[in-house]
Amino acid sequence: MNTTNYTTEVAILGAGPVGLTIANYLSKQGIQVMVVEQLDRLIDYPRAIGIDDESLRTIQSLGLVDQVLPHTTPNHAMRFLTPKGRCFADIQPLTREFGFSRRNAFIQPQVDQVLLNGLTQYEQTQVLFSRELTEFRQDASGVTLKLHTREGQQEVIQAQYLIACDGGNSLVRRRLNIAFDGKTAPNQWIVIDIDNDPLATPHIYLCCDPVRPYVSAALPHGIRRFEFMVMPGETQEELSKPENIAKLLSKVLPTTDGIEVIRQRVYTHNARIAEKFRVGRILLAGDAAHIMPVWQGQGYNSGMRDAFNLAWKMALVIQGKAAAELLDSYQIERKDHAKAMIDLSVMAGHVLAPPKQWQGIIRDGISYVLNYIKPIKQYLLEMRFKPMPKYQDGALLPQTDKHSPVGKMFIQPQVQLASGETVLLDDVLGNDFAIIAWGVDPKWGLSDSSMQQWQKLGVKFIQVIPAVQLKHPQPKHSADVITIGDLGTEIRSWFGKTTGSVVILRPDRFVAALAIPQTLESTSQQLFQKLHAQ
């Protein structure tokens, strides 16, 4: 049998959103990438329907967000209903800290297609569909993958690293004997997508019906999704029959005549997390590393956080700008937050479908009272219960002050350029580190050696001033300092809550360190060590 041999820098197993996102980011950084997918084409059956502002910010870093936004519905409210139809929790955060709506409905297959198409612009990147991974091994120099095609041909890929994005049933995770701890929910759910939405009401409704809880969600392009709990003894084969689909839908529609069912599928909800995310030159991401129930729409978004966190670190390692030890910070930073999102999703599932009937009665009573307490209502409306990532250790300088912004994502307001153009902040930053100073030269106090190290890593030096000052001649800085205008008060207010006037941002927009001009040199030297800069 003839064997086809490939050589690449990074092999990615799985052409889902996480694998495609990492592939786009690495490709944009000039890394040679090969994506391997077992299926013949992208998955088109029902999956995620919620994409958050962090994920859209990640896609913005790929240069693809303008192609994705038309497939979203911004400011998508989530409403929990009692069995009698009373709304007891209305979650509709309207803030835009990171430049986009915090909750958005979307059609995942369409966004996945944008991500796949995005790879066509990179000559060094290949995507191989219809390949089954049969064997892999790693040594000190790289990873070897053996594949079989549909035609029975054998292929071998030699890569420096393998990123396994091969789903909750990950072959790579199982072959590496990595524990996948957690629970499988006792109940399954059937998902039904309908074209030409017969209800045409906006937002998503989670009805806590004691007999058969269900979800009704408006999606972009006139699609409606229903999700019904599967009762004991019911099977996917039985429920998928047209007469039984009609019976389920008759619970929520006045008539099922003329309903255009696109597809349906039965899901099991799992809450599991891998014991470790890295074994040598092999890393797990997305569902291969953690899976969670759908109730907060965080399975997709947690995977996208993995992608952004891992991709910039992998790029630096491949480019020889950082040592491989930097990759250890991926698990250090991501595992705890993934676990927090699993716990939140499980809790939301228990609100929708309590394990015991008496718990539902208590829920309805408490919710009736709490809905009239303004601080609690605001807490729900603004989605403050969602644990935002805050990394306590890893590729950053840890702080003892619990209110420190270090380890949190930096805001993304609209800013004004010297030309008068208004853009989102990340459009200025690109995919580099950024040293942002309020009102002063962001390079002041840096030694020549630190300047050279920052420039090797890739950095933008940003001075922020009130936008009205852009019309006044600014002090002469070196040509590589970019001056931008704070249009409102967002950036000024952010700095006003910190002890530093200089912030160092990582490529994933997380705050790596704070300083003042006089401490920027020492802070930089400490951070280079945490980044394992070469």
- Mean pLDDT in residue range 393-398: 95
Confidence at residue 279, expressed as pLDDT on a 0 to 100 scale: 98
Q: Mark whether 340 and 426 lie in a shared domain.
A: no
Banded pLDDT at 363 (limits 50, 70, 90): very low
Q: Mark whether 21 and 128 lie in a shared domain.
A: yes
> Is the CB of residue 110 less than 8 Å from the CB of residue 73?
no
Q: pLDDT (tens digit, 9 = 90+) per residue, 473-502?
A: 666 667 789 999 999 889 999 999 998 999
Confidence at residue 188, expressed as pLDDT on a 0 to 100 scale: 82
Residue 444 lies in a domain: yes
Please identify which residue in the block is written with the tokens 């003839």.
2
Residue 210 lies in a domain: no
Please report, as a single letter, which amino acid is at residue 165.
Answer: C
Q: Mark whether 144 and 17 lie in a shared domain.
A: yes
Residue 190 lies in a domain: no
154: CATH: 3.50.50.60
% of the chain residues with pLDDT over 90: 66
Is 405 strand, coil or helix? Answer: coil
Q: pLDDT (tens digit, 9 = 90+) per residue, 119-144?
A: 999 999 999 999 999 999 999 999 99
Final residue in a domain of this structure, among 309, 333, 349: 349
% of the chain residues with pLDDT over 70: 88
Confidence at residue 379, expressed as pLDDT on a 0 to 100 scale: 43
Banded pLDDT at 382 (limits 50, 70, 90): very low
Would you tell me the crossing angle of helices 17-28 and 53-61 to the nearest 10 degrees? 40
The strands making up 87-91's β-sheet, listed across from edge to edge, are 87-91, 78-81, 204-207, 214-219, 223-229, 180-195, 260-274, 290-291
Q: Mark whether 40 and 132 lie in a shared domain.
A: yes
Does residue 158 or residue 356 have the better pLDDT? Answer: 158
The total number of structural domains that make up the chain: 2
Q: Which two tokens stand for residue 316?
A: 């630096």
Nearest to 14 by CA among 144, 112, 97: 112
* Bridge partners (DSSP) listed for residue 181: 273
Domain assignment of residue 307, given as a range: 3-70+106-181+271-349
How far out from the chain centre does Cα 257 lie? 39
What single-letter DSSP state applies at residue 322? Answer: B
Banded pLDDT at 86 (limits 50, 70, 90): confident
- Mean pLDDT in residue range 280-299: 82
In the predicted structure, residue 351 carries a pLDDT above the cut 70: no
What lies within 8 Å, CB to CB, of 440 at 6+ separation is 463, 501, 502, 517
Q: Mark whether 454 and 339 lie in a shared domain.
A: no
> Is the CB of residue 40 less than 8 Å from the CB of residue 80?
no
Q: Mark whether 166 and 281 lie in a shared domain.
A: yes
CA–CA dist 388, 404 (Å, integer): 14
Confidence at residue 345, expressed as pLDDT on a 0 to 100 scale: 61
- Mean pLDDT in residue range 303-314: 97
Q: pLDDT (tens digit, 9 = 90+) per residue, 320-338?
A: 999 999 999 999 999 887 7
Q: Mark whether 300 and 432 lie in a shared domain.
A: no
Q: Please give the mean pLDDT across all residues of the chain.
A: 88
Q: Mark whether 428 and 504 lie in a shared domain.
A: yes
Q: Mark whether 427 and 284 lie in a shared domain.
A: no
Q: What is the pTM of this model?
A: 0.91
- In SS3 terms, 1-17 reads as CCEEEEEEEEEEECCCH
Confidence at residue 361, expressed as pLDDT on a 0 to 100 scale: 47
**Residue 218 half-sphere exposure toward CB, CA atoms < 13 A:** 15
Final residue in a domain of this structure, among 308, 328, 349: 349
Residue 148 lies in a domain: yes
Q: pLDDT (tens digit, 9 = 90+) per residue, 401-427?
A: 888 999 999 999 999 999 999 999 999
Banded pLDDT at 17 (limits 50, 70, 90): very high
Residue 118 lies in a domain: yes
Residue 298 lies in a domain: yes
Confidence at residue 293, expressed as pLDDT on a 0 to 100 scale: 67
Q: Mark whether 43 and 140 lie in a shared domain.
A: yes
In the predicted structure, residue 371 carries a pLDDT above the cut 70: no
516: CATH: 3.40.30.10
Range of lowest pLDDT (183-192, 279-288, 506-515): 183-192
Tell me the Ramachandran region of residue 162: left when phi exceeds 0, alpha when psi lies from -120 to 50, beta otherwise.
beta
> Is the CB of residue 173 less than 8 Å from the CB of residue 288?
yes
Confidence at residue 295, expressed as pLDDT on a 0 to 100 scale: 55
Final residue in a domain of this structure, among 306, 334, 349: 349
Q: Mark whether 421 and 501 lie in a shared domain.
A: yes
Q: Mark whether 127 and 43 lie in a shared domain.
A: yes
Residue 91 lies in a domain: no
> Is the CB of residue 198 less than 8 Å from the CB of residue 250?
no
Confidence at residue 387, expressed as pLDDT on a 0 to 100 scale: 53
Residue 55 lies in a domain: yes
CA–CA dist 375, 311 (Å, integer): 39
Angle, CA of 359, 361 and 364, to the nearest 5°? 110
User: DSSP readout, 229-274?
Assistant: EPPTT--HHHHTSHHHHHHHHTTTSS--TT-EEEEEEEEEEEEEEE
